[in-house]
């Protein structure tokens, strides 16, 4: 369904855009129908930039993003883009910023009707809306005509997902969608994602939270400074992390049975890169450790690879 093939993004900076920030480097992965792929990395690792490129809110500098085989960079006419957004939608971190406080929150659903289904009659539309609200477990009576400040963050997020469902979407980009919610509403929204997956939707779940990624996703992509350092089946990556950065991230997740003073101060792994002879540093390809487990070079950023077994092949 969605395929990223060696995608990079450089933001021009400086006078006349002569220099640039490379936010995403040679990133390749896929999202299949009914699959939740989590994109995990620290702040600034390029997660949101990837989500924005998939949503066509930001252009790709090099590489290709295809949806059902078609390069989304080729969607230049507004009609083509509108069709794409019928299938691919995003929900973001701050639900309040998606609403205009002077209008009732369910106006976001009317906007879908006006923009995409002007020929659907009022009664039929109401039925569709009720169905979508039921899927996201919202009581129509509790949200109809209510203003954003009268609804909780979780209700507003679910309303945004209902809006996406009205469009018959096939891929949802969920960018930190629960990080502003309290613990009890978080689980509701997470369970909603599980429902969507069961309905065959693909989800690109952007998060910096490993525990969440483990909870919701089938596939995990670990990003560091714009580059994929490890990816694979979530169960494999979490049980048997191969890259020192992934291990460091996993070691830093707070655990209920540990207090902060018990945590190791430095979980850094300084082993030489065992893969570097097989994985030329800087190359876009990851090394396949197994069919569902890939790892990148241990070298950090643009530093030369400190391989144990001679220069890169």
In the complex, the residues that contact ligand ATP under the rule CB under 6 A are 11, 13, 21, 23, 41, 43-49, 208
Minimum Å distance from CB 242 to ligand ATP? 21
Show the beta-strand stretches assigned E in 14-121.
19-31, 36-40, 62-67, 70-71, 88-91
Alpha-carbon torsion, ordered 52, 54, 55, 59, to 10 deg: 70
Q: Which is nearer to ligand ATP, 27 or 159 (CB)?
A: 27
- Sort strands 227-233 and 171-175 into parallel, antiparallel or unpaired: unpaired
Minimum Å distance from CB 303 to ligand ATP? 18
Residue with tokens 């969608």, as numbered in its chain: 177
Residue 278: Cβ-neighbour burial (10 angstroms; 0-12, 13-18, 19+): middle
Minimum Å distance from CB 45 to ligand ATP? 4
Please name the helix (run of DSSP H) or strand (run of DSSP E) that holds residue 94, with its range, or none: none
Length of the chain: 313
With the C-alpha atoms ordered 49, 50, 52, 56, is the resulting torsion angle positive or negative?
positive
Q: Which is nearer to ligand ATP, 136 or 237 (CB)?
A: 237
Minimum Å distance from CB 130 to ligand ATP? 35
Q: Which is nearer to ligand ATP, 15 or 256 (CB)?
A: 15
Q: Which is nearer to ligand ATP, 41 or 153 (CB)?
A: 41
Query: Quick one: which of 95, 23, 10 has its CA closest to 61?
Result: 10
Q: Yes or no: say if 9 and 49 are a contact pair by the CB < 8 Å rule.
A: yes
Minimum Å distance from CB 253 to ligand ATP? 16
Q: Which is nearer to ligand ATP, 15 or 261 (CB)?
A: 15
Minimum Å distance from CB 46 to ligand ATP? 4
User: Which runs of consecutive H residues, i.e. helices, occur in the chain?
Assistant: 47-54, 78-87, 107-116, 122-135, 140-143, 153-166, 183-198, 210-216, 234-239, 244-251
Residue 302: Cβ-neighbour burial (10 angstroms; 0-12, 13-18, 19+): exposed
Q: Which is nearer to ligand ATP, 16 or 121 (CB)?
A: 16
Minimum Å distance from CB 231 to ligand ATP? 15
Q: Yes or no: say if 130 and 93 are a contact pair by the CB < 8 Å rule.
A: no
Q: Which is nearer to ligand ATP, 106 or 175 (CB)?
A: 175
Minimum Å distance from CB 41 to ligand ATP? 5
Q: Which is nearer to ligand ATP, 23 or 27 (CB)?
A: 23
């Amino acid at each position: 369904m969605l395929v990223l093939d060696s995608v990079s993004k450089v933001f021009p900076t400086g006078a006349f855009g002569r220099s640039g920030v490379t936010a995403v480097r040679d990133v390749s992965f896929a999202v299949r129908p009914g699959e939740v792929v989590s994109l995990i990395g620290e702040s600034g690792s390029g997660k949101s930039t990837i989500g924005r490129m998939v949503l066509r809110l930001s252009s790709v500098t090099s590489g290709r993003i295809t949806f059902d085989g078609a390069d989304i960079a080729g969607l230049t006419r507004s009609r083509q883009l509108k069709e794409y957004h019928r299938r691919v939608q995003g929900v973001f971190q701050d639900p309040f910023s998606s609403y205009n406080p002077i209008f009732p929150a369910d106006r976001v659903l009317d906007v879908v009707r006006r923009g995409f289904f002007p020929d659907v009659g009022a009664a039929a539309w109401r039925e569709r809306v009720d169905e979508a609200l039921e899927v996201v477990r919202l009581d129509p009576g509790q949200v109809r005509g209510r203003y954003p400040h009268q609804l909780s963050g979780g209700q507003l997020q679910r309303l945004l997902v209902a809006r996406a469902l009205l469009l018959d979407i096939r891929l949802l980009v969920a960018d930190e969608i629960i990080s502003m919610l309290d613990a009890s509403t978080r689980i509701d929204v997470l369970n909603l994602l599980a429902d969507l997956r069961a309905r065959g939707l693909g989800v690109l779940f952007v998060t910096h939270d490993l525990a969440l990624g483990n909870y919701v996703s089938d596939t995990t992509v670990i990003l560091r400074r714009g580059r994929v350092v490890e990816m694979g089946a979530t169960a494999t990556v979490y049980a048997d992390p191969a890259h020192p950065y992934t291990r460091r991230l996993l070691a830093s997740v707070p655990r209920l049975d540990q207090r902060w003073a018990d945590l190791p101060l430095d979980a850094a792994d300084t082993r030489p890169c065992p893969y570097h002879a097989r994985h030329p540093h800087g190359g876009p390809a990851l090394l396949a450790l197994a069919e569902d487990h890939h790892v990148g070079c241990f070298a950090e950023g643009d530093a030369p690879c400190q391989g144990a077994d001679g220069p890169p092949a």
